[in-house]
Structure 1
Amino acid sequence: MAKNLAHQLIEQHLVSGNMKPGEAVQLKIDQTLCQDATGTMVMLEFEALGLPRVKTEVSAQYVDHNLIQADFKNADDHLFLQSASRKWGIWFSRPGNGISHAVHMACFGIPGKTLLGSDSHTCAAGSMGMLAMGAGGLQVALAMAGLPFSLTMPEVVGVEVTGKLPPWVSAKDVILEMLRRYDVKGGVNKIFEYYGSGLANLTAMDRHVIANMGQEMGATASVFPADDNLRAFLRQQGREKDFVPMQAETGASYDAHDSIDLSTLEPLIACPSSPGKVVTVREVAGKSIYQSYIGSSANPGLRDFAVPAKMVAGRHLPQEISLDINPSSRQLLEELSRSGDLNTLLQAGARLHQTGCNGCIGMGQAPASGRISLRTVPRNFPGRSGTKEDQVYLCSPETATASALMGKITDPRDMDMDYPIFSEPEKLNDMRPLILAPQDTSNEIPVELEKGPNIQPLPDFEPLPDKIDGPILLKTGNNVSTDEILPAGTDILPLRSNIPAISHYTFSRIDETFYSRAKDLDGNSFVIGGENYGQGSSREHAAISPRYLGVRAVIAVSMARIARRNLINFGVVPLLFNKPSDIARLNQGDILGLENITQQLQAGREIVVQLANGKSLNVTHDMSEEEVSTVIAGGLINKVRNEKL
């Protein structure tokens, strides 16, 4: 039977399980990726495993999120990550080299390989014919230790791509069209595999844009074939020898089908405050803006900066507009300098920022209060920019630049100019000499980990008790993101290596009293969630911090894939309402009880929740046998400690 590309990749890496949607499978992981906002936890977790060296083909640690060194915390963490990389055989990319996903694609991505990253946008590498997925840091640490990655076998949605993008429409509009169709939860437990004649008109970096924001649909992964366009990209990087052709077999079938005719698309924009609130640019045109922001892991390609440069050539930005330029890598910044495009942007009045994630993760560049910011970033969750009640729109570089020039949201097709012509250079500078390579195993020098005062040990969590009772400490709405469960930003993210300190901010964007109420309780508690609980970032702090504060179970209508697994990894029981309407039966402050919970979890899917009024509520769980044993053990670290690696 002819296989699609996703099934080929999974089959080649299958360790155990049945490749039937909904079944538990385990996959061998070839490569891992970490960034600094989540990487410190990964390194602390890997340290706890007691292994001398990683067992993957490639493991890389990037510093791209926490670049603002306002005090010692970030700088100390950077030194810790560098020492950990030297100690355990990990490639280390220092601050300023660029965004992990763009740099990894340029330096290490190889068709046919699996990649697991402690950043949810690791899925961007699916643009290279890889099976690339984001996960919680603990699962990445275990993959570095050579253990397989456990997940639910996803459905594969085949998306046939035809046609060619018209002028002023680019790859960002393609993924925004997908989000318009699927919203932020329509891709959960799905892999989107793109194929068809239209792919000939999408470069490797165009595909990166689409694969990156597949995460915003909740997808497990996005997959593109490895074809001549990818070969051209690898040749540009001096790595053509790494090219391996990969594509779906003729006549391959899919679990579901969709199609996109590129020629029919128009400029799109996602309105505040969700990537799924997509409309045409013309529907919101005319609104005054404060800021346009070019860059991020979602639009990291050279053309995403060169086209805006050509658009502003010979023009000056309005005095009240901030056009923020965030180069994605040193390689790109060097090429923009060489070509003169950087100078063109600066002469027009643009602001240049350091290479990295920056404002995308709330690390600077926060917009003024009450003002609109147009950004080419992947997410616009409430407050993620660093400004409370922000108004962030997601759009293409063309739309962001046209709007900056006009001072208001503008469809770039309405600009009085021809669409700029851009051609990729045949060769770019090799970035690999800028990345610290692992030590030669034949001549290893002992390395001591450098731990600053802000780096604290992981909390020890006890196994699941036989009985859990306590109040509902918080009841949330739908689509609560990890940014709302445990925010990022300049004040909070530097505490990522210190769970007692960062836990002060747990659910602070929803209820500023959560921490104090949890500490006063000093006991077990519950959180109630709506649909798609925990969407967004892979940060496991959004599971560890609630667990540290006594949350033992989350009951939700549905959960995002990575958030659900992170809860399990740290001993928090993920439960689901049998009927969405049952959520109305529970209110914040209600006392709940789970009797004989370990036995209930082992016996079947149905779980009985005791209510304070003497009644009960039946909920369910969708955990595999491995996941049940993990949560009963009190988390994955406890479980692994009891097993032989």
Structure 2
Amino acid sequence: MIELLHGGVFLFKGQVILKNVDEINCCLIREGLEPSSDKALSIDKARKGTIAYQILISHNQSDDWRNLKLRFDALASHDLTYVGIVQTAALGGINEFPVPFIMTNCHNSLCAIGGTIAEDDHAFGFTAAQKYGGTFVPPNQAVIHQYMREMMTGCGKMILTVDSHTRYGPLGTMGVGEGSPEIVKQMLKKTYDISYPEVIAIYLAGEPKPGVGSQDVALAIIKAVYDNGFVTNKVMEFVGPGVSKLSIDFRNGIDVMTTETTCLSSIWRTDEKVKEYFIIHGRSEAYTRLDPAEVSYYDGLVKVNLSEIEPMIALPFHPSNVWSIAELNQNGSDILRQVEVEAQKQLDNPNLVLRLTDKLVNGRLKVEQGVVAGCSGGMFENVMAMADILGNKSIGNGYFSLSVYPASQPIYLDLLRHRAIEILMTAGAAIKPAFCGPCFGFGDIPSHGSLSIRHVTRNFKHREGSSPTNGQLASSALMDARSIAATSLNGGVLTPATEVEVTYSKGNYKFDQNVYGNRVYQGFGNSKPETELKTGPNISGWPPIPTLAENLLLKVSAILKDPITTTDELIPSGEASTYRSNPQKLAEFTLCRKEPAYVGRSNDVKKFEAKRLSALEQDNGGQIFEQIVDEIGLPKQFRDCLPNTAIGSLIVAVKPGDGSAREQAASSQKMLGGQANVVHEYATKRYRSNLINWGLVPFTVERETLTKFFVDDLIHIPGIRKAVADGAEKVQAFIIRVNSISQIELKLENLSKEERETILAGCLINYYRSNT
């Protein structure tokens, strides 16, 4: 079904897999072309034959292709992040958006949750679009990635957004999801700096069988590459004859899920179907044929036989925990018991127990809820296929429920024209407007103990809305919309769509531009600087952030021992989302599901730093320093260094940062007085970048060194400012306990000059202020 080819691989005309230069020369000679005599030169030249290289180089502002400085064609954010972006850009001196900046309202559009009124954020966004010349997409018009697909993509373009699922590869556009500070950098005409990434070919062959959908293919790929890190921080380039066998919606459905492989970005070869897509959407000029060069070189290859893919399910708590539905139905008890055991290790809470085996009915799993939504599930063809499966049947009047969220109003309108909405509603499904909430626990929250099957992007712990602090634990599994529809017909008993006899109509999609033309505010190139930004009580700016001190004294406030820690665990989605425009309130949710004591510990440490700073301004400062030494548990000899030593909190973890691009996983640590992280490695580039942009020092250590840390340890790092400024890649630190002081080595790996300057400045905001 899926085969991984490690090491370098050549492709001839994007279709024929070759392993060495001799095989290439045979192909070239057959084509009447000049063979190559230099193996090394051939590899270097062929590496530049990928589509990814062509696009990256065209956006590179440096003269060195190995160290890229990228400028993007368009930027986007949604209503959990654009307030902070605009505020930060304003502090940096922006007068107007230099490239299109699209603000969608698809994450926080329930408007009144958790004591805040999200519409205040929307009012802010609209006035920001007027003031700086942005695009404002009102609530329920479209989810962020569907709008970008429909209106902003183009062959050869690059788009940066504040959302981890930024993937527009099938439309010839390389999408990158990052934290808000990277968007601000682009607004201030700075660059996105990365080393040239490895490029992995995703070679598609064959054709999916009826009943198999995009989510099935995506889950199969994720299962094959996630645990081994085969594509981590690399570009996935989709090639091969199987690409043209797939519709654009099918390609988009696979592509958006590549985020769950931890890749950097994705790109696909384009063809006549892509050309037709742009014509349908009134943007024929956006199409260009993209293909690898005659000979292209990839750092690895994933060979996918589409014909062998079966309907799949990703069980809790990760999109890589994948099984075929047939296999689960045959061995349900054994598989579900295994999942329960592994889940319990992740929950690490005796009061929360995941029960799945008790949902078996005659050997088959029975679920309570089905949801199809967002940028992965809510596309036209998925919903049409559901209507074909449900036909004139019923999902029944039992407890099982089905909710469908079309991804945009234009899709909703055309589903109405095709009577698909009528069929779904008559069958018993609830049809809801465009909304990302079901992806992160803000819509269709299931009851305690329930299992929800969802065609969305993620099924991390509590992503469906569980509230562990209140004792509620539900869970979700990922499936394709087709099998969700088939399961709906069976009262919630797990059923692959391949078991249902149906003729798929597919439908002839028509895009009505008036839906957006009559409602979306288009301000690019027409900024109105006199516009006053409209704020509300829950919109708060950033407090002053000091520069990096000469020395650091850090107290370990949390140790995360899981092999991987997601950004959801660092700062949760769901109920915390309403405070995303108020950084200090949001910070109170940090690690609340993983380490509830962290906030209290960090705030206690923060009080010591406040006391130290006040001592610097008082005549009796020496006496106050003595008190700090006694209260925090420092040996007396450290008293004299306190005037130049910032006190902060520290998180120790194995591999944090998998998942969302949300920079609040870093900024919330900073709001609580965090100064650094010590980890074995960072799960994603974007999380590490977020730490740096908020002035947190991203230390790394050898795996065994992590065992030396305990909660409440004091870590003294003398000369940290000089070490960062001098480009040092290692620093000596000391673990201080009541009766002992031991020395350890912390690494400062792969920090660029600008990253070091940002850390020295205390955060990116300070860095901009000092450079304007």
What TM-score comes out, normalization by structure 1 length? Answer: 0.95
Matched positions, count: 635
CA drift at 1:364: 2.3
2:52 is the counterpart of 1:6: yes
How far 1:175 moved relative to its partner? 1.4
Partners in 2 of 1:82 and 1:235 — Cα distance? 30
Structure 1 counterpart of 2:321, one-letter code: K
Q: CA deviation at 1:153?
A: 2.5
Contact 1:308/1:398, CA 8 A, preserved across alignment? yes
2:644 matched to 1:526?
no
Please say which of residues 394-403 and 325-334 is displaced more in the overlay. 394-403
Q: In the superposition, relative to structure 1, how do residues 157 and 292 fare at CA in structure 2: closer, same or farther (>3 Å)?
A: same
Cα deviations by residue, 1:504-554 (Å, 9 ceiling, x for unpaired): 1111011222212211222411101112x1111111111111111111111
Conserved? CA contact 1:102–1:300, under 8 Å: no
- Residue 566 of structure 1 is matched in structure 2 by 690
Aligned twin of 1:333: 412
Report the AA paired with residue 743 of structure 2.
Answer: S
Q: How big is the alpha-carbon RMSD for the aligned residues of Structure 1 and Structure 2? A: 1.8
Aligned amino acid, residue 557 of structure 1: H
Which range is displaced more, 30-39 or 509-518? 509-518
**2:302 equivalent in structure 1:** 258
What residue is the counterpart of 2:221 in the other structure? 178
Output the CA distance in 1 between the equivalents of 2:298 and 2:544.
44
Summarize the alignment of residues 598-617 of structure 1 with structure 2, pairs less than 5 Å apart: 598-601=721-724, 602-612=726-736, 613-617=740-744
Q: Is the 8 A contact 1:38 1:119 kept in 2?
A: no
CA distances 1:208-248 after superposition (whole Å, capped 9, x unpaired): 22221111111110111232121111111121122122221
Structure 1 427/98 Cα, relative in aligned 2: closer, same or farther at 3 Å? Answer: closer
1:467 Cα deviation (Å)?
Answer: 1.2
- The one-letter code matched in structure 1 to 2:650 is F
**Are the equivalent residues in 2 in contact too, given 1:183–1:277 (CA < 8 A)?**
no
Q: Do the aligned partners of residues 81 and 301 (structure 1) sit closer, same or farther apart at CA in structure 2, a change above 3 Å counting?
A: same
CA shift, 1:116, in A, is: 0.6
Q: Give the structure 2 partner of residue 486 of structure 1.
A: 571
Larger radius of gyration: 2
Map 1:619-634 → 2, pairs under 5 A: 619-620=746-747, 621-634=749-762
5 Å matches for 1:397-408?
A: 397-408=481-492
C-alpha deviation, 1:440, in angstroms? 5.5
Q: TM-score, normalised by structure 2?
A: 0.80
Matches within 5 A, 1:92-491: 92-122=136-166, 124-183=167-226, 185-285=229-329, 286-318=364-396, 319-388=398-467, 389-413=473-497, 415-425=499-509, 427-433=511-517, 434-438=519-523, 441=526, 444=528, 446-476=530-560, 477-489=562-574, 491=575
Give a deviation string over 1:134-161, Cα, whole Å, max 9, x none.
1111110221232221223321111111
Question: Who is 1:556 aligned against?
Answer: 679
Letter aligned with residue 573 of structure 1: V
**How far, CA to CA, are the matches of 1:19 and 1:32 in structure 2?**
23
C-alpha distance after superposition, 1:339-369 (max 9, x if no partner):
1100110111111222111221221211111
Letter in 1 for 2:577: L
Q: Is the 8 A contact 2:389 2:500 kept in 1?
A: no
The residue type equivalent to 1:525 in the other structure is S
- Equivalent of residue 39 in structure 1, options 69, 82, 95: 82
1:62 aligns with 2:104: yes
Contact 2:482 2:497 in 1 (8 A): no
C-alpha change, 1:424 and 1:582, in structure 2 (3 Å) is farther
Q: Percent of aligned positions with the same letter in both sequences?
A: 24
Task: Choose the corresponding residue for 1:498, options 582, 599, 622.
Answer: 582
- Letter paired with 1:538: A
What CA distance in whole angstroms lies between the structure 2 residues aligned with 1:303 and 1:480?
34
Distance 1:516 1:72, change over 3 A: closer
Residue 706 of structure 2 aligns to which amino acid in structure 1?
I
CA distance, structure 1, for counterparts of residue 750 and residue 376 of structure 2: 32
CA separation of 1:577 and 1:390: change in aligned 2, threshold 3 A: farther
Q: C-alpha displacement at 1:98, in angstroms?
A: 1.1
The letter of the residue matching 2:375 is S
Q: Distance in 2 between matches of 1:146 and 1:226?
A: 30
Paired AA for residue 181 in structure 2: L
Paired AA for residue 297 in structure 2: S
Q: Counterpart of 2:662 in 1: which secondary structure?
A: coil
Preserved contact between residue 161 and residue 195 of structure 1 (Cα < 8 Å) = yes
Residue in structure 1 matching 2:129, options 81, 85, 94 = 85
Alpha-carbon spacing, 1:37–1:444, altered in 2? closer, same or farther (3 Å)? closer
Shift of 1:414: 5.4
Question: Is the CA contact (8 Å cut-off) linking 2:554 and 2:675 kept in structure 1?
Answer: no
**What is the deviation of 1:338?**
1.1
Instruction: State the match for 2:670 in structure 1.
Output: 547
Q: How far did 1:15 drift?
A: 1.0
- Compare 420-429 and 446-455 and name the one that shifted more: 420-429
Alignment check: 8 A CA contact 1:312 1:344 kept = yes
Residue by residue over 1:454-505, the C-alpha shift from the partner in whole angstroms, topping out at 9 and shown as x without a partner, is: 111122211111211122100112321111111121x321111111111111
Question: Closer, same or farther in 2 for the Cα pair 1:439/1:525, shift >3 Å?
Answer: closer
Contact 1:295/1:326 (8 A) holds in 2 = yes
Question: What is the CA distance between 1:72 and its match in structure 2?
Answer: 5.3
CA distance in 1, matches of 2:210, 2:298: 32
Q: Is the 8 A contact 2:679 2:701 kept in 1?
A: yes
Q: Residues 162 and 262 of structure 1 are in contact (CA less than 8 Å); yes or no, is this contact kept in structure 2?
A: yes
Distance 1:513 1:227, change over 3 A: same
In the TM superposition, residue 381 of structure 1 has moved relative to its aligned partner by 1.1
- Secondary structure of 1:363's counterpart equals coil
User: Structure 1's 17 and 541: CA in aligned 2 closer, same or farther, altered over 3 A?
Assistant: farther
Q: 3-state DSSP class of the match of 1:15?
A: coil
**Mapped partners of 1:60, 1:52: distance in 2:** 16
Whichever residue aligns with residue 765 of structure 2, its letter is I
SS at match of 1:176: helix
Aligned pair partner of 1:517 in 590, 601, 617: 601
| SS of residue in 2 equivalent to 1:619 | strand
Matched, 1:52 2:95: yes
CA drift of 1:304 comes to: 0.9
CA contact (8 A) 1:459 1:499 kept: no
8 A contact 2:545–2:763 mirrored in 1? yes
8 Å contact 2:550–2:718 — kept in the other structure? Answer: yes
**Which stretches in structure 2 are left out of the alignment for 5+ residues?**
1-44, 330-363, 468-472, 607-646
Q: 1:302 deviation in Å?
A: 0.4
Pairing partner for 2:70 from 8, 14, 27: 27
Alignment check: 8 A CA contact 1:164 1:201 kept: yes
Match of 1:534, SS state, is strand
Residue-by-residue CA offset, 1:153-201 (whole Å, 9 max, x unaligned):
3211111111111111121112111111112654322110111111001
Structure 1 residue 332, shift from structure 2 partner: 0.9
CA contact (8 A) 2:410 2:511 kept: no
Report the alpha carbon displacement of residue 127 of structure 1 after superposing the two structures with TM.
Answer: 2.2
